[in-house]
Each structure stands twice: as structure tokens, then as C-alpha cells.
Structure 1
Amino acid sequence: MPPPSHRPRPRIGRAGVKRMNRFTRRIGAVGVLLLLAGSLAGCGSGGDSGGAGGASSGPMDATKAGLPKSADDISGTIDKTKVKKNLVVGVDNPYYLFHHDIDVALAKGYFKEFGIDSVDIKTIEDPLPPLIGGSLDLALYDTDTAIAAAKKSGQGLRFLSVYLGGEANVLGVGKGINTGADLKGKTITGGQFGSRNDAIIRQLLRDNGVEPDRDVKIVSTGGQSNERLQSVIAGTVDGASIQLRHRTVLEKAGGKVLFEETREVPQSGWSANKLLQESPETVTAFLAATLKARQFITDQANKDEVLTIMRDKKFEIPTEYADAYAAENAPDYHVSDGGFKPADMDKFISDQITYKTVPDGTDWRQYTYLLPLWRAQKALGLPLNPALADM
């Protein structure tokens, strides 16, 4: 089955997305960011502005010095006269799950409610260089890669809000494999060696009594989760890290999901750079509109309307993938309020330091700015998440 897409794109999947040891591959691009900044014609901070808001008077981070003293100091009122009217954002993934917050917010009028007229989505393999260079206003990307880039670049990049806060670790296998014992001597891939996917598929095997360095042959592969699925179906490998939405496709081909785990991991989210410095009000407005859309999306009663909006936008969503809507748009997976538990972020970044995708000694709080998220949550009548007391 061809990957679901808006147009043919180079990437698909999320927990199963191609990561290619992103710290070395993507952070190496920081040295040439200014050359790449103009690569998207018509993007970024130039052009129409609804009046840029001034930068925050305090440090733009989530360290103690950068936190409001109390929830009463956080304003949920958004001044639309200070909101930039037209935005350009970058998303690295063509799957509808990474576009529908914006497309639903546009269709339902939520952006206009908060002062934004249009949002142009650019699907780019790596949106961080143009974000740092200023030709994108915001980017949706892997949390660890964004925080690593913020530390490496020193350009004011800040992580803002979690998009996907759950991680499904799924081992799909081919015909004839029904137990862990059947994996003996078989070939398994989690993707590229050194990636998070590779590490967590090894851990999934261990958790189920299979020693990856002894009982199976782990191979390194490129591509995305859809390509790994097709490799299992074709018999190129015996098992691979796949996505929840692949279950039905694999079962129809005679395979099965052998092992799976789902856990809370703040794996991806929105980041901003120059826009945050020039118009923090716009960042708050963007988060408020997209979180309002996400509240609508994660209400399972709205599934048919959301899928209709996305299909009208020419996204291909096969029945098998539509069937995964409840899992992929669960409020604790496609995080309905954009928040996270600081303890989960602590563990996630610590793990990523171990996997060498985040530099040693990185304190995520120095490269995360939560005031726009808290203001957006307050504007929508949501509890602050993370709670100030937990920070």
C-alpha cells in the first residue's frame, strides 16, 4: 500500500520515522543555517504583520528565573492587534496526523478567532535550519532534535509545546512467527543504528525475553515506518518497528504484531525562534488556535468530520489508517492540551543523551519556553500543564 500523503513526500511515520542519528546529521547543518534560511521563497517573518509584540521582559526559558511567580501572573487575554496575520510553518511529516491541527483550525475559524488570517504549511525533511534562519515562523519536529539544535545553535530557538506525548513501540513480524521463541535467528530492524527507534526496539525485545545481541540479527535500515512495514510483508526482514496504524495492513498480509508497548514520551512538538523574539503574542495565538482544534480532534465524536476535512485537503487516508484514529488521536497521545510532565521530559532527554542525540549536560529547561503555552491554555479555560508547582 502506498504511504498516505498529501503529495509525494520523502518521509512518513513518527515513532517509526527515519531519524538517521539526527544529532550528527541535522545539528551539523547549523553551521550553514544562514545559507539555507532563504531556501523557502515567500516564507517567514517578512510581509504582513498584525503588529509585532515585544519580547518577554524575562528570560525565555523554563528555568526557575524564567517562570512566572504564580498562575495569576499569566494572562489568558490575547491582543489581536499584536498578532502577525500570515504565518509560514514547517512540518517534517506528510501524514495527516501532523497537519490536522492547522487544517481543522483553519476550517473551523479558530485562527481568525485569535487574530491569524492564514497559515501556510511547508512539508520539509528538516525544518530546523529554515526556522533558525528565519524563513519559517514555527516548526513541528522531534523534541530532542529541537532542544539539541537550540543548545548547539545558540540562536534563540525554543521548544514550546508537546504535539505527540505518547510513544508506541511496536514489533511487527511476518508469517510463521507467533512467539518470542520463533524469533531465534531472525532478522529484525528498528531503523537506522544509533536512532531512538533502534534503541527502543532492542529494549522491547529484552522486555519480552529476547536478547537482541544474541537471539536475533539486528540490521540497520533507512527509510520510514511504511517502508519497514513493506519490508516485513515482502520478507526482506522478519520483523520491524512499525506504527499502530499498520496493524490491519500487516494482518491482512499474514503477519501480526508480536510485541507492543505504549508509554508517555514527549516525543515531538512545536518550536519557534525569531517569531518568539519579535511577536510572542503571535506564538500564543497560534498555540491557542491549534490547541482549540486539538480539543475538537481528540473528541472521538468528531472523527468523521476531521477525516472529511483532511480528505477534502487531498490527504490520502486509507480505511486501515482511519481505523487507527482513536489510538493516534487519544488525548494522552495527541496531547490535547499541549502539556507534559516535567519528570517525563527529564527521562526523555536523559535517554537521548545516552543515545547521543542530545549533547551531554543539556538542561531542557534552558531551551524550553512555556509562557505562550500557559497563556494559550488559560485563554481556552484549560488547567496549566505543566503546573507551575511541578516546574
Structure 2
Amino acid sequence: MQKKTSSAAYALIVALMLGTSACATPTSSGGEGDNVASGQLPSASDLTPVDTAKVKKSLVVGVDNPHYVFSEDIVVAQKKGYFKQAGIENVSIKVLDEPLPGLIGGSLDLAAADTDAIFSAAGKSRSDLRYLGVNFGQEFIGLGVRAGIDTTDDLKGKTISAGQANSRTDFNLRQLLAENKVDLDDVKVVNTGGTANNRLSAVLAGTVDGASLQIRHSKYLEDVGGKFLLEKTRAVPQSGWATDRLLKESPETVAAFLKAVLRARAYIVDPSHKDEVIGLMKAVKYEIPAEYAAAYAKENAPGYHTVDAGFEVADMDKFVADSIKFKTAPPGTEWRELTDLVPLWRAQKELGIPLRPAPADLS
């Protein structure tokens, strides 16, 4: 499981990431093709600082969700000058339902997408698509309910939307109910398509009594007398960064991008920066209603919006096994063969934070 960062340790990490680069002087750069199953894993002394003279100046990045938290790392890195300090002049964002085809086709340089979608696309396409690191390293599982449902006993005879049948969302909600001793025969669990926002609308309209919802929906529920009746958060590397041909054409650019993004993330997860970050996002036309802003601290907690973009190997092993079970990743998916962590390790080292996962953990 992901280790919980103490307040003191987290403060040190943020200070290091927001300050100047670490002064270590390693001897060689990460080379192309260093996936974590290649037998070419580097030691910490092999990881060089970014050479800004070799960095691509302009990038186009795809993001698979219009919610502002999926783009804020890029916007903040741009506005705070972190990209420029890493040698990148401009990063354009394209919000797309499915950014990975564009990444494989070459219209995008990097993309943020669901981890299982990245592994699935990489395996099926036989391309050079590689997973680079985590965006959100925890998974929130919550049953949001309408007014009048105050205990699990009140769920008897009620209708709950669990998302698409046989999906991870469906499984997680049913497991959450069972863990809280709710007899599934006593409730009507219905499976619907659409997004979590669609499920929220159904709860607010009274079409269903409860649903599997997200952190950002809490204030909407509270405003109509509802709440999250059941909830939990667990370590799951649910989404991350990927790239394709850029890794071979300019590995310096990939490391530079991740370095800037991690600096931005350290700034974002500090709750004292909430108003500034939301202001920056609104200035570039992201819609952030008060209800979403109210969820800022939880959605940008350093464990949830993973501050180092790393993960625990056991968590990734389990996630991929679950993805195969839910058929969101093909049978036989070997995530180590589809992952290149050298750019992340270079960024982590230059920012003075521990390498996670450590190369030794992947041998």
C-alpha cells in the first residue's frame, strides 16, 4: 500500500520541489527503451539532470477528462514558469474523450489517461506507447445518497446506481456495501451507462436514491440534504502520464516535462494555494463551480494527487490484475514491459525526492 507521508516529511518534499534543483551530478542520462523489464534499470548515480538545450520547446498534451484537476498541473507549470525553467516554452492542452489514439498517431506529444487504458492501448497497438508515472494514486469509493437516508438500515428497498455492469465502479460499490454489512438482496442495485456526473444528476432528480459518486460531488449532495453515507479511499494508481515517439526523439523533453509537472503538483497540493490555483484555472476558461472548489483539499491531497508521480509495485500488480479481470486490459498484460520510469526517476532525483518505485523494487 502507498505509504502515508508525515506532515514534516511532506513539508520537506514540497520545499525541495519548489526550490532549486538538487545538486547531485550523476554521470549518464536515461536511454531510450529502458522499460522496467528490459534488464537495463539504472542506479541513482546513472540519472542525469535535464539538459535544457536538448528539450523540445513546444508540446501538445492530451487530457481525457474536462474536470480541472486533470489539467491543473500543466496550467500551473506554465503560469509559474516551471516549464520555461525546464526548457519548454509552451504546452497546449487538448481535452479529448480518448487521447491515446492521437498519442499513437503523433498529433499529441504526451497524454494523461486512465492507467488501464494506457496499458491496453500500448499492448494492442504494438506501438512505442509507454506509461511514465501516476497522476492520481488513490481511488475514492463513495455511496452518495439523497436526504432522508441516514444509516445503512435506511437503504433497505432503495435503488442505487452503480455505473456500468461488471465494471470496476460496479464491483467497488458492491464491495463497499458488503463491507458495511448491507445485504445486497435488500437493495436494488441498477447498472447504468454514463459518467459519475450523470449518476449525481439522477440522485438530485430523485430517479435513484443513491449512487457511486466522486469527491467533487459532496457539496451538491449536502446542498439538498444528502451526503456520502459510505466512503473509503485506497491506494490505486488509477491514472497517469504516457508518451510514444517523444521518448525516442527527445528523452530530455519527457524528463523536463515531468520535472515541471511535479513542481506544479507540489505547489497545487499546498492548500494555502487553493485560491490562486483556482484563479489560474478560471483564467484559462475552466469551469469550477463553488461545489467543485469546496472539494479542492481532498482532490489535491498529496496522497490522492500523488506528489511524486510514483507508486508501490504491489499496488500496480494488483491494479493490473484487477484490470484484466474487468476486461479493461487484455489478458497477459505485463505492465513492466509497457512502462519507462527513467524520465520520472530523473525528475525525482533532480528535485531531491526519493525514487519511487525504487529501481531495485522492479528487478
TM-score, structure 1 as length reference: 0.83
From 373, 377, 388, the equivalent of 2:344 is 373
1:81-117: CA deviation from partner (whole Å, max 9, x where unpaired)? 2111110010011111011101101111111101111
Contact (CA 8 Å) 1:58, 1:66: kept in 2 or not?
no
Give the SS at the match of 2:65.
Answer: coil
**Residue 314 in 1 paired to residue 288 in 2?**
no
**Residue 84 in 1 paired to residue 56 in 2?**
yes
Name the residue aligned to 1:24: none
**Residue 202 in 1 paired to residue 174 in 2?**
yes
From 331, 335, 346, the equivalent of 2:317 is 346
Alpha-carbon distance, 1:58 to partner: 6.0
User: Segments of 4+ in structure 1 off by > 6 A?
Assistant: none
**Residue 186 in 1 paired to residue 171 in 2?**
no
From 278, 286, 301, the equivalent of 2:249 is 278
1:50-104: CA deviation from partner (whole Å, max 9, x where unpaired)? xxxxx96563311261311x211111x1111211111001001111101110110
1:260-300: CA deviation from partner (whole Å, max 9, x where unpaired)? 00111100010001111211111111101111100111112
Question: Can you give the 5+ residue segments of structure 2 that lack an aligned partner in the other structure?
Answer: 1-28
Give the SS at the match of 1:267.
Answer: strand
**Residue 134 in 1 paired to residue 134 in 2?**
no
Contact (CA 8 Å) 1:59, 1:65: kept in 2 or not?
no
**Residue 363 in 1 paired to residue 334 in 2?**
yes
Name the residue aligned to 1:299: 270
Q: Aligned partners of 1:113, 1:310: CA distance in 2, in Å? A: 21
The residue type equivalent to 1:245 in the other structure is R
Alpha-carbon distance, 1:319 to partner: 2.1
1:179-258 map, 5 Å: 179-212=151-184, 214-258=185-229
RMSD: 1.5
1:94-105 map, 5 Å: 94-105=66-77
Q: Aligned partners of 1:190, 1:219: CA distance in 2, in Å? A: 6
Name the residue aligned to 1:65: 39
Contact (CA 8 Å) 1:147, 1:367: kept in 2 or not?
yes
Q: Aligned partners of 1:302, 1:178: CA distance in 2, in Å? A: 34
Percent of matched pairs sharing the same residue: 58
Contact (CA 8 Å) 2:32, 2:248: kept in 1 or not?
no
Q: Aligned partners of 1:56, 1:215: CA distance in 2, in Å? A: 56
The residue type equivalent to 1:140 in the other structure is A
TM-score, structure 2 as length reference: 0.89
From 47, 53, 57, the equivalent of 1:74 is 47
From 306, 325, 329, the equivalent of 2:300 is 329
Give the SS at the match of 2:242.
Answer: strand
Residues paired across the two proteins, number: 334
Give the SS at the match of 2:39.
Answer: helix
